Amino acid sequence: MAVPKRKTTPSKRGMRRSADAIKAPTYIEDKNSGELRRPHHIDLKTGMYRGKQILTVKD
């Protein structure tokens, strides 16, 4: 059976537990389409990002 060789320090323990504080992803309402999307991401329905056409939309 595997046994730890050294005690885990409080710093390392805290770094491991820092992921527990991650919150649910946030969504914002798009100004043009009114759809929900992630902030700083391309709107996949329209292909727009910051007022510019980035992706071509499939029909």
Q: What is the DSSP string of 33-59?
A: T--EE-TTS-BTTTTEETTEE-SPPP-
Please state, in angstroms and rounded to a whole number, the distance separating the CA atoms of residues 52 and 28: 18
pLDDT at 8: 95
Question: Residue 52 forms beta bridges with which residues?
Answer: 49
pLDDT at 31 over 90: no
pLDDT at 18: 93
Q: Hey, how many other C-beta atoms are within 10 angstroms of the C-beta on 39?
A: 8
What average pLDDT does the segment 37-49 reach?
Answer: 89
More confident of the two residues 47 and 33: 47
